[in-house]
Structure 1
Amino acid sequence: MRGWLRDTAGGLPATYWYLWAGLLINRVGGFAVLFLSLYLTAQRGASAALAGLVVGTYGIGGVIGTLAGGVLADRWGRRRTLVWSHLACAVVLGSLALATDLWVIAVLCALLGLGQSMPGPAFVAAITDMVPAARRSRAFNLEFWAFNIGTAGASLVAGLLAEWSYVGLFLLDGLSSLIAGLVFALKLPETLPAPGFVAVKTRGMRTVLSDRIFLVFAGLTLLQALLYTQTSTIVPLAMRADGLSPSAYGTMTALAGALIVLGQLFVPRLIDRHRKARVLAVAQAAMAAGFAVLIVADRLPAYLAAAAIWTVGSMLAAPPNAEINSELAPPALRGRYQAVFYLTYPAASFLAPALGGAGLQYLGSAHWAVVAGVGVVASALHLVAGPSRERHVASIRAETAATALPDAASR
């Protein structure tokens, strides 16, 4: 067991673990978005469709924040972007705890989406900067593991706290953002390569937006994000319609987190022998199967079974998604590539609740058949796009080796 742990987590630099710890701290207090739709319907009297639109403003802010975060990560630095975005989130969450008007809440949700999306590109760019290529799959797997350790603990406690005080949830979330920001400020060095370090001619964001292979991959990630975002926006509304309490949703989310905590470290050994496109196809199919269960679900055991199935899919997808993303990005544009990649998540944060709220209201359980169908389509498209993507990654590696670009981790 000790040797397995060394193989799983060994070889990673100390600075990586400060990033990992900051992410874990932030997620332990990450209550707000998970329970925002329930807060709006239960405490502010919003309908399912209106709650979906208000929560959708989080995604609108996230689009702006993600693009800004990518540019800032490349120009201003990874560390500064991480520190100030977390501090800004703490202020917004404190304000959200005091807001009562739906329009004010919608504006604050947009600002929260902006602040919480900005760190993503800087976070992944910093990991890519400091971790050697051979260890990045494990680094990204451990990142996903930490994210879900925090989410599992947060959801288990938050489901009970939501029945006592939603205001307390927002304040605790803000406190965790503040602490994470301080960890990054005090312990994280800047990993941005020095000017002139990467000898590659680039055209900024235009280079990213003209990379068709990368954009296809980002589009497929958007389909996956559309499915996954259902779990934090529309699934709780479906459970409420079936007469289940917020604590039941917390239990379901905690189960998903527990499965990841117990099983995620085994994923690299399970998938390393297989092509990434095939792993992603299987992952999408599993997620589709999980949402298909919701067509007939009306009690907690059925929701728990569905969550277990789609969680397995998300566990399999996390390492290859992050690794492919890092492989497709030239060193000089890591922040910008991460920004466009991470746009899929705020876009899904808007589209999933905005469309899903209306879908649940007007289609009922048939909504989940549509969601499962999206997963099946994404699975097939990964198999089609995989070969050309693998050839493109190979050409990037050959070009990088030919120009003798030094790796940031070797400095």
Structure 2
Amino acid sequence: MRSWLRETTGGLPSTFWYLWTGTLVNRLGSFVMIFMAIYLTSERHFTQTEAGLVIGLFGVGSAMGVTVGGVLADRWGRRPTLFTAHLGAATMLLVLGFADDRWTITLGALVLGFFMDGSRPAFQAMMVDVVPERDRLRAFSLNYWAINLGFAFAAVLAGLAAQADFLLLFLVDATTTLVTAAIIFVKVRETRRPQGFARRDTGTPAVGLHTVFADRVFVGFLLLNLLTAVVFLQHISMLPIAMGQDGLSPSTFGWVIALNGVLIVSGQLFVPRLIRGRDRSRTLAVASLITGLGFGLTAIADVPWLYAVTVLIWTMGEMLTSPSNATLIAELSPAATRGRYQGVFGLSWSAAAFLAPTLGGFVMQHAGDAALWLGAAGIAAAVSVGQIVSGPSRERRVAALATAAAPSATETAPPVGVPAPAAALGAAAADDAPPVADDLSKVS
């Protein structure tokens, strides 16, 4: 056990562990989005379609947030972007908690999405900056483990808080967000200098988001992830409404959905060893089929234990998908535009955060539960085929980027004891990253 623990957690930089701690604290209080659908339909008396639209507007704000956040992470810096986004999210949680009219709630959800997901690209880019390539799979798995440990506790606690007063959901969520901002401000140092300043010194042409969208291999992967996310995000938008229609309480939903976090916490640390060395495209294809099976079976669920079974099934698919996605995105992202690539990848989740509740609410209200869940299963099956077909081109792109990065690492790193040539010193001075992040970005 000690050997396994060292292999799983050893050797990671302190910055990673501060980010990991911030993730855990933030997720322990992530009450609001878990119960937003129940809050809107039961407390504010929104219809299913209206509730789906409000949650969808959160996704629109999220899309804007990850886009702006990705650019700011590269130009302004990871740390200030993270800190500002967390302060903004805490403020909007308090605004939403005390809002009672529909327009404020609707617009507040949009702005909350902007700040809440505006931090995601900077966070992911910072993790890639500080963690060597050989350790990224387990680093992302550890972070994902922290997310789900917090989620498991938050789901149960939020269900109990909702029984007492929905305002508690917003107050606790805002508090943990502020604590995370304090951890970032006090303990986390910048890992990459803003590129905007470097370009003014060197004359290097600006690289915009159009460069990311012109990458057809990456865009193909984004489309598959978008469809996967549309299926997966039904658990946070339409699943609580479906359970409510079956007469189940918010606290029951909290216990059932907490199984998702419990299973990931208990098994996710072993997943990297399970999938290590396996074909990633096949892993993602199998994961998609398992996810579709879990959501498809929700069509026949009507009691807590059966809902719990469906959650356990699609959670296994999620456990295989997440670490594979994280490492693949890191390897498909050129070092100089890592924040933008992370931002655009987050954009696919944000688009799904709009499409999942709006389409889900419409289908549920007009076609019924069975059509929604069986349709989700069909989408997941199509994604599985897409992963197999597009896998070889992705792996060729990963190999090409690794080959392109390798010469720069050897050319700019002279032998021990030999002074670096002037040209190399000039290149190092013009690079956007501080020494440690620079070395790691070239390894990637």
TM-score past 0.5 threshold: yes
Cα distance in structure 1, aligned partners of 2:203 and 2:15: 25
Do the aligned partners of 2:77 and 2:194 also contact (CA within 8 Å) in 1?
no
User: What amino acid does structure 2 have at the position aligned with 1:254?
Assistant: A
After TM superposition, give the deviation of residue 273 of structure 1 in Å.
2.3
Q: How does 1:389-408 map to 2 (within 5 A)?
A: 389-404=394-409, 408=437
Cα distance in structure 2, aligned partners of 1:25 and 1:67: 25
After TM superposition, give the deviation of residue 403 of structure 1 in Å.
2.7
Identity %: 45
After TM superposition, give the deviation of residue 363 of structure 1 in Å.
1.7
| Alignment match, 1:118 | 118
**Per-residue Cα deviation, 1:188-212 (whole angstroms, up to 9, x for no partner):** 0100147559998763212111100
User: What amino acid does structure 1 have at the position aligned with 2:391?
Assistant: G
Name which of 302, 313, 316 aligns with 1:312.
Answer: 316
Cα distance in structure 2, aligned partners of 1:281 and 1:351: 22
Name which of 295, 302, 316 aligns with 2:306.
Answer: 302
Do the aligned partners of 2:158 and 2:254 also contact (CA within 8 Å) in 1?
yes
User: What amino acid does structure 2 have at the position aligned with 1:251?
Assistant: W
Name which of 250, 253, 267 aligns with 1:246.
Answer: 250
Cα distance in structure 1, aligned partners of 2:203 and 2:119: 26
User: What amino acid does structure 1 have at the position aligned with 2:383?
Assistant: A
SS at match of 1:368: helix
Name which of 202, 209, 226 aligns with 1:205.
Answer: 209
Aligned residues: CA RMSD: 1.7
Do the aligned partners of 2:217 and 2:393 also contact (CA within 8 Å) in 1?
yes
| Alignment match, 2:191 | 191
| Alignment match, 1:336 | 340
Cα distance in structure 2, aligned partners of 1:174 and 1:395: 44
User: What amino acid does structure 2 have at the position aligned with 1:217?
Assistant: F
Name which of 280, 287, 292 aligns with 2:284.
Answer: 280
Do the aligned partners of 1:276 and 1:320 also contact (CA within 8 Å) in 2?
yes
SS at match of 2:300: coil
User: What amino acid does structure 1 have at the position aligned with 2:171?
Assistant: L
| Alignment match, 1:235 | 239
Cα distance in structure 2, aligned partners of 1:119 and 1:78: 9
Q: How many residues end up aligned between the 2 structures?
A: 411
Moved over 3 A (4+): 193-202
Do the aligned partners of 1:288 and 1:375 also contact (CA within 8 Å) in 2?
yes
SS at match of 1:396: helix
SS at match of 2:27: helix
Do the aligned partners of 2:288 and 2:381 also contact (CA within 8 Å) in 1?
yes
SS at match of 2:386: helix
User: What amino acid does structure 2 have at the position aligned with 1:369?
Assistant: L
Cα distance in structure 2, aligned partners of 1:199 and 1:395: 26
Structure of higher CA gyration radius: 2
Residue 194 to residue 119, structure 1, CA distance change in 2 (3 Å): closer
Cα distance in structure 2, aligned partners of 1:119 and 1:180: 12
User: What amino acid does structure 2 have at the position aligned with 1:402?
Assistant: P
User: What amino acid does structure 2 have at the position aligned with 1:392?
Assistant: R
Do the aligned partners of 1:24 and 1:147 also contact (CA within 8 Å) in 2?
yes
Do the aligned partners of 1:48 and 1:357 also contact (CA within 8 Å) in 2?
yes
User: What amino acid does structure 1 have at the position aligned with 2:282?
Assistant: R
After TM superposition, give the deviation of residue 223 of structure 1 in Å.
1.2
After TM superposition, give the deviation of residue 165 of structure 1 in Å.
0.7
Cα distance in structure 1, aligned partners of 2:20 and 2:319: 18
**Per-residue Cα deviation, 1:23-64 (whole angstroms, up to 9, x for no partner):** 111110001111111101101111111111111110111111
| Alignment match, 1:357 | 361
Gaps of at least 5 residues in structure 1 are none
Do the aligned partners of 2:73 and 2:194 also contact (CA within 8 Å) in 1?
no
Do the aligned partners of 1:68 and 1:118 also contact (CA within 8 Å) in 2?
yes
After TM superposition, give the deviation of residue 151 of structure 1 in Å.
0.5
| Alignment match, 1:267 | 271
Cα distance in structure 2, aligned partners of 1:144 and 1:374: 25
| Alignment match, 2:32 | 32
After TM superposition, give the deviation of residue 102 of structure 1 in Å.
1.2
| Alignment match, 1:85 | 85
Do the aligned partners of 1:200 and 1:332 also contact (CA within 8 Å) in 2?
no
